[in-house]
Chain A
Amino acid sequence: MDDSILEQRIRETLEKKAQDVHVDALTSQRIQTKVEQRIKEAEHMKHRGWKKVAIVAAAICVLGSITAVAVGKPSYTSSHSSHNEEVKDFATAKAMQNGYDASVKTVESFSNGYTFQYAMPEYNQTHDENHNAMESETMMNFSYKKQGKKDVSFSATRLGTSSEIADQIMTLDNGVELRYRKLANKFVPPDYQITEAEEKLIEEGKLNVGYGSDKVELINSLHVSWVQDGVLYSLYTFEDSASNHCLLSISTNLDGRDDFLYKVYGK
């Protein structure tokens, strides 16, 4: 086949296929509204720590990610929260969580010194591979602080299952499996081109890339997850640069408050 004929046909075929896209006033308006919404959200996150949100989303995605990709089955989970809905009082936060799902366990402080700082509703949604929304839920996301340490976040969901990926697994006496993993996060500008090596790491679940930073930044996050009574619990924090060997771990026999047996400590 002559190259010029092929080229002519490619042009004609693409032109014709492109006519499938009807850019009417409604489509145009819908896109513009969503763009405005995204800008508003991004500007809000920029001032309120979007990196943390990206890590939370990655945590849910990685820890609770679902491998099924068949049509009609969840393919990924998305999550969003807003600091505008922040609650600084534990009793109120607990009452809100009870309103969403009373069986989720919560705790005000840990015996190692981490104390409740604030909480906010987290809206989780599963999607199929065509981005169609499937199941949704609202849970509270709790944040804990300790002098001289990075904040620790705590979340719960019924929409995820533990990932098979873990750097370390600890089985407790009651049979609960704690999964620990360290995740590398790379925050990059929107036009950043991912290398093939990075693509491989993303596919292996070892790297989370968050778009929106002005410059390339690498931050590790530490995650511990476990499933109890059908709820996937997750604790996560940024790795403390001052203590590279900081380890987030949990033990069931050290803190019995609220019948919720766990403890967090950082070395």
Chain B
Amino acid sequence: MEEAELVKQMIAGDRDAFTHIMERYQPQALRAAYLISGNHADSEDIVQETFAACFLYRNQIKNPEAFKGWFYRTLSRNAWKICRRTKKEQPVAEPYAGDIPDPTETLKEVILREEEKALYSAIEALPVKQRAVIVLYYYSQMSIKEIAKALGCMEGTVKSRLFHGKAKLKELLQESEKNGGRTWTILS
């Protein structure tokens, strides 16, 4: 069934439609929440609060066609709220998946892993609002217009957060290189 139709049914109070929406959105939402908050426990809290808000405040969804924007706006604000509540503007570092060396890894893979680790640390170091824009743009693949709608801000603000976010990442990576980190490489 079309998403807009499901959303209309949910707005009308249909629990089955709500369950379908949860199933449809859950994996991506959980991953986006994880990338913004930086840890598993917070990401589950964020997603739970967002879904609960979806059903409880369904009457506020004025345009079912634009549900994705409404959903990610609620998710982002819940993420900021939870990050603030737990005083974790900077997420708690969890082991990076690439931390465990695989003996069969090639040199190319080792370098890539190191680079990804450095880059992810740099993303984690960004302020939460900047990090959210980076995640929505590069991971959730939302357009600047969609992000602006989702976050309730001007497109210029999104562009500015992206620009400054990227500049900050570049700066952090260059600093890391100076301090003995690897030089950025193009291996593909």
Residue ranges of A at the interface with B (Cβ–Cβ < 8 Å): 1, 3, 5-7, 9-21, 23, 27-28, 30-32, 34-35, 38-39, 42-43, 69, 75-76, 129-131, 189-194, 199, 202, 211-212, 214
Contacts and interface: CB of A to CB of B under 8 A. Distances in A.
Contact of A3 (B45, B78, B166): B166
B172 to A, nearest CB: 11
B119 A9 contact: yes
B49 interface: yes
Contacts of A39: 52, 55-56
Interface SS of B by simple majority: helix
A16 B96 CA distance: 10
Interface of B: 19, 22-23, 26-27, 30-32, 34-35, 39-45, 47-49, 51-53, 55-57, 60, 70, 73-74, 77-78, 80-81, 84-88, 92, 94, 96-98, 115-116, 119-120, 123, 134-135, 138-139, 152, 166, 169-170, 173-174, 184, 186
A131 B134 contact: no
Contacts of B166: 3, 6-7, 10
Contacts of A23: 26-27, 30-31
Nearest to B42: A131
A14 B27 CA distance: 14
A211 to B, nearest CB: 8
B60 A191 contact: yes
B170 A18 contact: no
A212 B53 CA distance: 8
A1 B60 CA distance: 44
B27 to A, nearest CB: 4
Given A5-B184, A11-B139, A199-B84, A191 B56 contact: no
Given A18-B35, A28-B26, A191-B74, A13 B120 contact: yes
State the 5 A-B residue pairs at the shortest beta-carbon distance, nearest first.
A18-B31, A38-B52, A190-B53, A14-B139, A23-B27
Contacts of B22: 31-32, 35
A191 B173 contact: no
Given A6-B166, A12-B116, A212-B56, A131 B97 contact: no
A74 to B, nearest CB: 13
Contact of B34 (A5, A20, A192): A20
19 contacts: A1-B173, A10-B138, A12-B116, A14-B135, A19-B97, A20-B94, A23-B31, A31-B47, A31-B48, A31-B51, A32-B22, A35-B48, A35-B51, A39-B52, A76-B85, A130-B41, A190-B56, A190-B74, A191-B60
